[in-house]
Amino acid sequence: MTYTTKELIAAFIARDLQDGENVVVGANLPVPRAGVLLAHLHHGPNMTIGLSATQTNLLKEPVLQPFKYNRDFRAARWAESYMQHHETFDSPKLMSDVFFVGGIQIDQFGNSNLIGVGTDYRRLRFRGPGAIGTTTMTTYTKRYHLYLNSHDPRVLVERCDFITAFGWGRGGADARTKLGLPGGGPKYCITPLCVFDFEEETKRMRLRSVHPGVTVEEVLARTGFAPIIAPRVPETEAPNADEMEILRQRVDVEGVLRS
């Protein structure tokens, strides 16, 4: 069966999610959205799905229509409960167990930056959109994945100009507990070329797998730091027929992941 890289990544994200987890789906990240919904329909019948300030279970919905914007009220047709936005921050129980974080810069220890690029904060060369909820969500969430739509040495940098979400700081397995951060930290960094994880001792990024057709050399050429490379780097596991059927028939009927 043929599949696109986006479908491959959605299946990778889905396999990391476990039944019973509470996961929020954003609107502007179609691939993580598909991964979460695939996990729910494939092996997570007791997952809680957060969607447009509501929580629900979508097992009995034949087709999950996508929404373009985060707060589209049409998603409320499925709601079992509402979430007041400020209330989200009152307890990690109300936050997503797994969270997806982008960045205009991400460094080798998984710290991420949404403020901007430049050495002088008062005169940024490029102003980013802002931290959104990433600082607090990554403080508490059980684990999170850094997620990038493009694999670029200007984004994957040795050191971020600013940090809005603390990953593993300057490295070390105790980097987060030393600061008293309760959350589990970043687990994967997922790009259109590959998946990085974090080496257990140093918490530096390690090339975990390359997507089919991508070489290790290509990843290195397009990464602004030197990740840890195992002697043999496997391919990212392909989606199976069951996963592809759910993706195409129920989660992504409009084919956003095929475009």
Partner 1 sequence: MTGERRSRIVDEIQAAARVTDGMAIVIGGHIMSSHPMAVIRQIIKQGTKNLTVIGAASAGLEVDLLVGAGCARRVITPYVGGEALAPIGPFYQAAVQRGEIEVWECDEGIYYTALRAAALKLPFLPTLSGLGTSLPEVNPDLRLFNDPITGRPLVAVPPLQPDVALIHAAVADAYGNVQFVGSGMGDRAHHRAAVTTIVTVERVVPNEEIRKNPLATAVWNVDAVVRAPYGSHPYQSPGFYLHDEDHLNEYLRAARAAVQGDRRPFAEYLDRYILGPANHAEYLQTVGFPRILSLHEV
Tokens (6 digits) for 144 = 């999170």
* Binding of partner 1 by 89 (CB under 8 A): yes
* Binding of partner 1 by 149 (CB under 8 A): no
Identified binder of partner 1 from the candidate list 2, 60, 62, 85, rule CB under 8 A: 85
* Binding of partner 1 by 105 (CB under 8 A): no
Contact string 4-43 vs partner 1 (x = CB under 8 A): -----------------------xx---------------
Pairwise CA distance, residues 51 & 3, whole Å:
26
Tokens (6 digits) for 239 = 């989606």
The DSSP code for 142 is S
Contact string 155-184 vs partner 1 (x = CB under 8 A): -------xxxxx--x-----x---xxxx--
Which conformational region is residue 169 in: left (phi greater than 0), alpha (psi within -120 to 50 degrees), or beta? left
Residue 163 or 195 with smaller CB distance to partner 1: 163
* Binding of partner 1 by 150 (CB under 8 A): no
Pairwise CA distance, residues 259 & 250, whole Å:
17
Q: Distances in Å between the alpha carbon of 90 and those of 12, 25, 51, 137, 165? A: 31, 19, 18, 11, 19
Which one-letter amino acid corresponds to residue 146?
Answer: L
Binding site for partner 1 (CB under 8 A): 27-28, 53-54, 68-74, 76, 82-86, 88-89, 113, 115-116, 121-137, 139-140, 162-166, 169, 175, 179-182
